[in-house]
């Protein structure tokens, strides 16, 4: 599925299905997040509807009365089937309808919603049923997230990963819409239906993309192993928490940070600035979200490999967002799923400039180990820089090295790669005390033996 509606002129109506497992604040916050996702795509949210159901699995998702109501809001372009189909569970559980939630209702009555977006995942047949009856495009949460990822992917790896996830999402939907179409087409094999042809095309495309991805990933692996001996810090966290902003501030780089969801899809690696000896690397990673489609999690394994290799993980949260605790759980969940073991970690309560001093104090009482920052405050950035340097120093070993004056180039190499804490000049050698990681030290000793 691809968004065909023209984003700039698209009015979106959001639908929330509240179930016994998904209701109250959780459902309200999730709907607000869906509104942000939909806005990120350039749609205009014109309103929302929510309904209580026992599950999200009904063939029409909504009760028939609600469906007719929504059909009205979308301009009655489809045909609501009021006949109850064989096997359909009657909507007796359909109680306590909430006509409108607090998502923008200023445009109500809806001029007409052009698309309807559900805050849950729909099966291909549910999508088709609702679409037929409403006569407008219908999206589910995963479809919207995949579309955002498709639009924001910049590097080859991210594009390949997202395209694989998109095709996996599209494939079953393709099957449904092509069902029963026996028409012959160019390129079809003997006896092959359009459905089979389309399936084969997707399969071939997926195989090509996966092959390409493997070769790109091998390259990335090579680059990562070259950096293996350096101390690496990874910024991880929920989308929009401020990871890229902090990254930009502590590395003096121009990494993109934007007020849109999933601004970053590619891992960027930069050196901590002001530069340290040896260099410390910082990587910015893809942001997470609740109900991140499984395929996307899988496809971002390699992107998150940076976090996997990091010696220090900075968990960034937007402390001004009341739902940051739940967001942090999501981050822990995804990192666990991709097998990132917490090496050392620091919780960063970001966007502190949005909090009163009382709120800041309460959070520090709740999270005494955390660091409170505003990516906009140079003093906080310098505090974070110092913290990272101190942790990196802790990881290092201090050692005294005797370098004869005849050992050409070695002194320069030591000074450029290691942190020198003391130099004593003797008659025929220099005694240098360095702090360095074990790998660099072992390499240096080997090189000196061969002199």
Ligand X SMILES: Nc1nc2c(ncn2[C@@H]2O[C@H](COP(=O)(O)OP(=O)(O)OP(=O)(O)O)[C@@H](O)[C@H]2O)c(=O)[nH]1
Length of the chain: 451
Which run of H or of E encompasses 142? helix 141-152
The only residue of 82, 98, 185, 354 in contact with ligand X, by rule CB under 6 A: 354
The only residue of 30, 126, 264, 327 in contact with Mg ion, by rule CB under 5 A: 264
Are the beta carbons of 80 and 69 closer than 8 angstroms? no
Cα angle 269, 309, 300; round to 5? 70
Are the beta carbons of 348 and 367 closer than 8 angstroms? no
When the beta carbons of 351 and 435 are compared against ligand X, the nearer one is: 351
The only residue of 258, 336, 398, 424 in contact with ligand X, by rule CB under 6 A: 258
**Closest chain position to Mg ion (CB):** 264
When the beta carbons of 1 and 255 are compared against Mg ion, the nearer one is: 255
For residue 34, give the nearest of 118, 129, 146 by alpha carbon.
118
Residue with tokens 């993109």: 256
DSSP letter assigned to residue 288: B
CA distance 244 to 266: 11
Non-local (6+) Cβ contacts of 150 within 8 A are 162, 163, 166
Q: Is 287 in the site for ligand X (CB under 6 A)?
A: yes
Please, what is the minimum distance in Å from the beta carbon of residue 106 to ligand X? 24
When the beta carbons of 179 and 362 are compared against ligand X, the nearer one is: 362
Long-range contacts of 367-375 (CB under 8 A, 24+ apart): 370/346, 371/346, 371/347, 372/319, 372/348, 373/246, 373/348, 373/349, 374/350, 375/242, 375/245, 375/246, 375/248, 375/249, 375/257, 375/350, 375/351
Q: How many residues bind ligand X (CB under 6 A)?
A: 23
For residue 12, give the nearest of 76, 99, 73 by alpha carbon.
73
The only residue of 124, 257, 278, 293 in contact with ligand X, by rule CB under 6 A: 257
Token pair of 151 as six digits: 């639009």
Residue 47 contact, options ligand X, Mg ion, none, Cβ 5-8 Å cut-off depending on partner type:
none
Q: Is 323 in the site for ligand X (CB under 6 A)?
A: no
The only residue of 204, 336, 353, 426 in contact with ligand X, by rule CB under 6 A: 353
Q: Is 159 in the site for ligand X (CB under 6 A)?
A: no
Q: Is 263 in the site for Mg ion (CB under 5 A)?
A: yes
Q: Is 278 in the site for ligand X (CB under 6 A)?
A: no
When the beta carbons of 264 and 352 are compared against Mg ion, the nearer one is: 264
The only residue of 149, 169, 262, 315 in contact with ligand X, by rule CB under 6 A: 262
Q: Which one of the spans 106-114, 174-182, 255-263, 428-436 is the region binding ligand X (CB under 6 A)?
A: 255-263
Q: Is 244 in the site for Mg ion (CB under 5 A)?
A: yes
Rg (CA), the chain: 27
When the beta carbons of 290 and 351 are compared against ligand X, the nearer one is: 351
Are the beta carbons of 162 and 153 closer than 8 angstroms? yes
The only residue of 11, 264, 419, 437 in contact with ligand X, by rule CB under 6 A: 264
Which run of H or of E encompasses 397? strand 397-404
Q: Is 245 in the site for ligand X (CB under 6 A)?
A: yes
CA distance 154 to 439: 34
Q: Which one of the spans 220-228, 255-263, 290-298, 331-339 is the region binding Mg ion (CB under 5 A)?
A: 255-263
User: Which x/- pattern, by CB under 5 A, does the window 10-39 give for Mg ion?
Assistant: ------------------------------
Q: Is 50 in the site for ligand X (CB under 6 A)?
A: no
Residue 13 contact, options Mg ion, ligand X, none, Cβ 5-8 Å cut-off depending on partner type:
none
Cα angle 165, 62, 139; round to 5? 25
Token pair of 120 as six digits: 């849950």
Say if strands 429-436 and 419-425 run parallel, antiparallel, or are unpaired. Answer: antiparallel
Q: Is 270 in the site for ligand X (CB under 6 A)?
A: no
Q: Is 142 in the site for Mg ion (CB under 5 A)?
A: no
Q: Is 226 in the site for ligand X (CB under 6 A)?
A: no
Q: Is 375 in the site for ligand X (CB under 6 A)?
A: yes
Q: Is 351 in the site for ligand X (CB under 6 A)?
A: yes
The only residue of 241, 304, 363, 372 in contact with ligand X, by rule CB under 6 A: 241
Q: Which one of the spans 36-44, 60-68, 244-252, 351-359 is the region binding Mg ion (CB under 5 A)?
A: 244-252
Are the beta carbons of 313 and 345 closer than 8 angstroms? yes
Binding site for ligand X (CB under 6 A): 237, 239-245, 257-259, 261-264, 287, 350-351, 353-354, 374-376
Binding site for Mg ion (CB under 5 A): 243-244, 263-264
């Amino acid at each position: 599925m691809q968004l065909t509606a023209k984003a700039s002129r698209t009015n979106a109506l959001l639908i929330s299905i509240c179930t016994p497992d998904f209701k109250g604040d959780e459902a309200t916050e999730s709907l607000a997040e869906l509104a942000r996702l939909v806005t990120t795509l350039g749609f205009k949210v014109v309103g929302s509807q929510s309904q209580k159901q026992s599950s999200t699995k009904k063939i029409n998702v909504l009760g028939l009365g609600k469906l007719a109501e929504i059909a009205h809001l979308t301009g009655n372009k489809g045909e609501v089937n009021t006949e109850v189909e064989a096997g359909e569970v009657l909507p007796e559980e359909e109680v306590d309808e909430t006509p409108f939630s607090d998502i923008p209702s200023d445009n109500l009555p809806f001029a007409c919603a052009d698309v309807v977006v559900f805050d849950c995942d729909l099966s291909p047949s549910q999508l088709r049923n609702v679409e037929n009856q409403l006569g407008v495009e219908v999206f589910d949460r995963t479809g919207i997230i995949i579309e955002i990822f498709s639009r924001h992917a910049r590097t080859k790896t991210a594009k390949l990963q997202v395209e694989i996830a998109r095709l996996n999402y599209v494939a079953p939907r393709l099957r449904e819409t092509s069902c029963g179409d026996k028409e012959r087409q160019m390129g079809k094999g003997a006896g092959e239906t359009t459905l089979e042809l389309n399936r084969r095309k997707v399969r071939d495309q997926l195989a090509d993309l996966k092959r390409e991805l493997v070769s790109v990933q091998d390259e990335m692996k090579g680059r990562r192993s070259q950096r293996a001996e350096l101390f690496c810090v990874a910024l991880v966290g929920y989308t929009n928490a401020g990871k890229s902003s902090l990254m930009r501030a502590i590395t003096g780089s121009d990494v993109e940070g934007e007020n849109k969801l999933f601004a970053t899809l590619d891992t960027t690696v930069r050196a901590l600035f002001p530069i340290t000896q040896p260099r410390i690397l910082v990587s910015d990673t893809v942001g997470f979200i609740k109900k991140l489609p499984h395929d996307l999690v899988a496809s971002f394994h390699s992107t998150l490999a940076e976090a996997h290799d990091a010696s220090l993980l900075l968990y960034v949260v937007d402390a001004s967002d009341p739902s940051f605790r739940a967001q942090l759980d999501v981050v822990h969940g995804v990192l666990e799923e991709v097998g990132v073991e917490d090496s050392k970690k620091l919780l960063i309560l970001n966007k502190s400039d949005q909090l009163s001093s009382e709120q800041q104090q309460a959070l520090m009482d709740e999270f005494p180990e955390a660091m409170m920052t505003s990516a906009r405050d140079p003093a906080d950035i310098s505090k974070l820089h110092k913290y990272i340097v101190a942790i990196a120093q802790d990881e290092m070993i201090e050692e005294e090295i005797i370098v004869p004056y005849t050992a050409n180039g070695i002194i320069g190499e030591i000074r450029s790669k290691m942190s020198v804490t003391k130099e004593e000049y003797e008659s025929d050698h220099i005694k240098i005390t360095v702090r360095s990681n074990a790998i660099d030290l072992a390499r240096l000793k080997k090189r000196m033996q061969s002199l």
